[in-house]
Chains A and B, each alone.
Chain A
Amino acid sequence: MYQQFSRSVVEVDVIDPRELDDTFERVITQRLGVLPHVYRRVGSRDRFDDRGALWAFAKRSYLDNPLPSLFKERAFIHLSRLTRVRYCLARHSGYLIGKGYPAGDRSAQPQAITELLALLGQPLPDGEAVEAAVARLAAIEAPLGIPEPGSLREKELFAVLSALFIDPPRWRQHAEWLARVFGNASLDALRALLAYVKAEHFWAESHPDVDFEPDIAALLQQSPEFAQRLFGDEPAATLIPDAAMRGMLAEMKRTRDALDGLQDRNAFLLKLGDGLRPLSDPEPVQREASRLLRDFLRADQAHFAEIDELTESIRIVDDRMGEGVAVSPDRAIAPIRAAIGELRTGATIVINDVSRFSRFDPDGKRLCFENGIRSLVCVPILKDGSLIAALSVASYGPRRWTSQDVALIEDVAERVSSAIERAHAEQKLKLREAELARVQEISNVGGIDVDVASGFLGRRSPEYRRIHGLPDHVRYESHASWLSRVHPEDREQADRTFQEAMAGTAAIYESEYRIIRQSDGATRWIYAKIDIERGADGRPTRLVGAHTDITDRKLGEEAVRDSEHRLRILMEGIPQLVWRSRDDGEWTWASPQWQSFTGQSVAEAMGLGWLEAVHPDDRPTAREAWTRAAEVSVLDVEYRVRRASDGAYLWHHTRSTPVRDEAGNIIEWLGTKTDVQQMKELQENQALLVAELQHRTRNLIAVVRAIAQQTMTITGPTPAFQEQFGRRLAALARVQSLLSRSEEEPITIDALVRLELEAIGGQAGVPKGADISGPPIRIRHSIVQTLALALHELATNACKYGALAAEGGSLSVTWSIVNAAEENTYVRLVWLEYGPALSEASRDAMQGGYGRQLIERALPYTLHARTQYELSENGVRCEIEIPIAKEKRRPE
């Protein structure tokens, strides 16, 4: 039986513990038998301290509460089990079994530990238990006293108190039942007790540093059963009758577990981070994360599944997670379409027991059973709003997944997917870097990246190192190191260019300079082009760019420059006036020779300006030449150009051919004007000389003839000599005349024959009865004179004695080429006279004499001719065959 406490309560003044710590703690120790940690000072003395208020509350509502001491203590323990405030549960368990005084009552008989354990082992009431208790209490008419410890009624009272404790407004009605059964005074005392229990719970929980007192710690060690009851993993929430209450309790438990598990979880995440960091490929990251997660949660399987909704396939990243369970690496989505749909919304699927999970497709359920999976958590991994993978953790038995579990799995999924993103990005970066390196190598470009803030220490790409001949291990290099490699002759300029670019506002730095390549000492040309990134203050912050080895190009340029230089020297050095022109004769360039000859500046000569220097009479010719030039691709014309020094117009021969590109299009014309004035003058002189020579030759012959005639008038009259000598010299003179004109008018047999016959016919020309026919055959100069003289003799005889001397006679002169295709080609000329019978005198005259000698001896001697001269009664037949193929010459 509980002793009924009198209401005469000792009034205790509230002590200010800041002044009287010792007194305060002594008072408490006296009353409770121990000094509980809740009444120990927390922190320094100047902090707000309301232990006094709590103590006052404790005394009024708990210690001095008129309810029986053991009841109060047992109720305290029971209520502490609901909220699992372990400190209070342990401390008040201690009071109950004599560690200190039960409810501060020295006189109260402490209970045995077995009684305590029985109390702690009681099932916590659920909704049904509360309702049942209330129903039983309601059936009792008479007022009751506070029930005995361990009695059934005590259990019933505890059940109702539990409800009142957790959710007072909701159980207001039940409080009325209590008042009816136990009386209003008891109800007030019970309410006061509940209030204090809550206050102390709050106190203890809000001071997580409050530890167990030594006596409790010793008790926990002595009685493992006690410890087990105290910390056993009872899922208290299930026993709480109401969902709201359950939720609240669960939340309280979660908070507590969170606190408890925080260290573990942090440790796990740390471990996960360590495990994932060195991994750069997505698969090992997933595998390692799965393994760590499975072990930490003591689950049976954990794996990532890559989901390809397009092909409706799933690829399980790691089969080894499910040891001993056949998991096909690729599965169709179909059996778990509903689950996929749910995951797509970003929701985590939590299944405590597959067999009681209604939202699953039957096939999905079967799949789980086939793999022995009874419970699972599946967290979706979304990328840009679409489902790409899921992280699943599964157990072979039913499992109540806590929110911590779920949160952890979600956290891991999150971390892994970002780790994979990072790994993908790194992989991509590696690939890009490899590509870049290749591109750089191909194009002979070396990348450079300088973080100016860190003192121009530049990162050098592999190709940069190759170009500059740096060893492989050099990744970074200072400005000074770079500068020392620059060719001494270029160093100052290169540094100045760089410094000026840095100091200025330019966004680009460009420079060309030589370096002494470190690896082999070779001099190489470098072209640098670099982007300058500048900060808000305009100062460079970062340089990113490329170096190109342009040595080959430079050497090429040098060669081109040399060649151009030589060409220019040539063009400006030759004694011609050189120019360049467009297709229409509009000049684009004139050589210095042109400028100095004509006095025109380059600008004046440009376009058609050069025409001003051409003789006005020749300008149409000069223009016209261009229109022809386009057709025949050659410009070839002569005209006069004015010489500035004396104003004289000198003849120039202009020649040009077009310069074409590879496709054959005319790019321009390059031409020369050659001074041909002297040549022209020489040609004119030559023509004059030839004319002079002819004149003199014929004069000479005339003089010879005159001297001969005059001499003969003195030596004696020899008319026959006079006549014959005279006409032979005349014939000779005619031939000379013919020869002198041979440049313009080639000498043919026809011309020779006619010349001689016309000379005989006088004004009448070729005599009547003469028939001349034969092809046009040109004859050599060396033949002309002798042949002409022979023809002259034949013609003269014909005219004086032969066929042409009398009426009725006829003469035919015919010639042809014989053996034209062969080596011994010759011309056969046949002189045939036919007429009345010749007189004896005529025949004698024609038989001998000079003419015949000429034909029969001179022609064969000089021309290797074969001749035949026949004199018959009615005329003369003469055949002359003259070889015309030139005789072979011996080499000189």
Chain B
Amino acid sequence: MSVTGSNVFQGRRVLLIEDEFFIAYDTAINLQTNGAYVIGPVATIDEAMETLAAAGHVDGALLDLNLQGDMSYPVADALLQRGVPFVFTTGYDQGAIPPRYSGVKRCEKPLDLVKVAEALFQ
């Protein structure tokens, strides 16, 4: 199912980090539908770090802020270091995120992939 008309994720390698199976499953299908090559999805910080290290080029990432009770900042730091654009996917308020991630966009669930694409690639 394509949510946008312009295949904004066409050819993009997108890393999906989301601990909730159903959301991860649904989001992955949506991304693929929109032309993305989905890396993952993965549900934990450790898996995310391992996957990122092994993934080669990554065009962007969707990062759930809370992974099974842990804040996903280590992954965020790794992404920033790699220069990989990413968004926080969360239900939290903006204020709950540390200031050092002020440049990172936050996308509330349920996700609007158009906004995600804008945040990642524009």
Chain A residues proximal to chain B, CB less than 8 Å: 780-782, 786, 854, 857-858, 861-862, 864, 887-892
B71: contacting residue among A786, A888, A892, CB under 8 A: A892
Indicate whether B45 reaches chain A with its CB closer than 8 angstroms.
yes
With A890-B45, A890-B49 known as contacts, the answer to whether A858 contacts B21 (CB < 8 A) is yes
Can you sample 27 A-B contacts with CB below 8 Å?
A780-B68, A780-B69, A781-B69, A782-B19, A782-B68, A854-B21, A857-B21, A857-B25, A858-B21, A858-B22, A861-B21, A861-B24, A861-B41, A862-B21, A862-B43, A862-B68, A864-B44, A887-B44, A888-B46, A889-B45, A890-B45, A890-B46, A890-B49, A890-B74, A891-B74, A892-B71, A892-B74
CB distance from A444 to the nearest CB of B (A): 64
B46: contacting residue among A781, A854, A862, A887, CB under 8 A: A887
Across the two chains, which residue of chain B brings its CB closest to A888? B46
**Most chain B beta-carbon contacts within 10 A, residue among A781, A864, A887, A892:** A892
B25 CB contacts on chain A under 8 angstroms: 857-858
CB distance from B83 to the nearest CB of A (A): 20
Complex: A854 Cα to B25 Cα, angstroms: 11
Indicate whether B37 reaches chain A with its CB closer than 8 angstroms.
no
Complex: A889 Cα to B68 Cα, angstroms: 11
CB distance from A685 to the nearest CB of B (A): 17
Indicate whether B20 reaches chain A with its CB closer than 8 angstroms.
yes
Across the two chains, which residue of chain B brings its CB closest to A858? B21
A888 CB contacts on chain B under 8 angstroms: 46
Complex: A134 Cα to B70 Cα, angstroms: 160
A891 CB contacts on chain B under 8 angstroms: 74
A780 CB contacts on chain B under 8 angstroms: 68-69
Give the contact-size bracket for chain B. Answer: 10 to 19
Complex: A857 Cα to B24 Cα, angstroms: 12
B41 CB contacts on chain A under 8 angstroms: 861
Across the two chains, which residue of chain B brings its CB closest to A783? B68
CB distance from A338 to the nearest CB of B (A): 119
Complex: A517 Cα to B121 Cα, angstroms: 85
6 closest pairs, A vs B, by CB? A858-B21, A782-B68, A890-B74, A861-B21, A862-B21, A892-B73
B43 CB contacts on chain A under 8 angstroms: 861-862
A862 CB contacts on chain B under 8 angstroms: 19-21, 43, 68
A781 CB contacts on chain B under 8 angstroms: 69
CB distance from A851 to the nearest CB of B (A): 13
Complex: A781 Cα to B66 Cα, angstroms: 13
Complex: A857 Cα to B22 Cα, angstroms: 10
**Most chain B beta-carbon contacts within 10 A, residue among A857, A858, A890:** A890
Complex: A780 Cα to B70 Cα, angstroms: 12
A890 CB contacts on chain B under 8 angstroms: 45-46, 49, 74
* Chain B, 43-95, CB within 8 A of any chain A CB: 43-46, 49, 68-71, 73-74
A887 CB contacts on chain B under 8 angstroms: 44, 46
CB distance from B50 to the nearest CB of A (A): 11
Across the two chains, which residue of chain B brings its CB closest to A854? B21
Across the two chains, which residue of chain A brings its CB closest to B49? A890
**B45 touching A782 by the CB < 8 A rule?**
no
Complex: A892 Cα to B70 Cα, angstroms: 10
CB distance from B90 to the nearest CB of A (A): 15
B49 CB contacts on chain A under 8 angstroms: 890
**B70 touching A889 by the CB < 8 A rule?**
yes
Q: Taking A887-B44, A888-B46, A890-B49 as given, write out 19 further A-B residue pairs in contact, using a Cβ cutoff of 8 Å, ordered by the A residue number.
A: A780-B69, A782-B19, A782-B68, A786-B21, A854-B21, A857-B25, A858-B22, A858-B25, A861-B21, A861-B41, A862-B19, A862-B20, A862-B21, A862-B68, A864-B44, A890-B45, A890-B46, A890-B74, A892-B74
A861 CB contacts on chain B under 8 angstroms: 21, 24, 41, 43
**B69 touching A782 by the CB < 8 A rule?**
yes
CB distance from A632 to the nearest CB of B (A): 36
CB distance from A865 to the nearest CB of B (A): 11
B46 CB contacts on chain A under 8 angstroms: 887-888, 890
A864 CB contacts on chain B under 8 angstroms: 44
A892 CB contacts on chain B under 8 angstroms: 71, 73-74
B20 CB contacts on chain A under 8 angstroms: 862
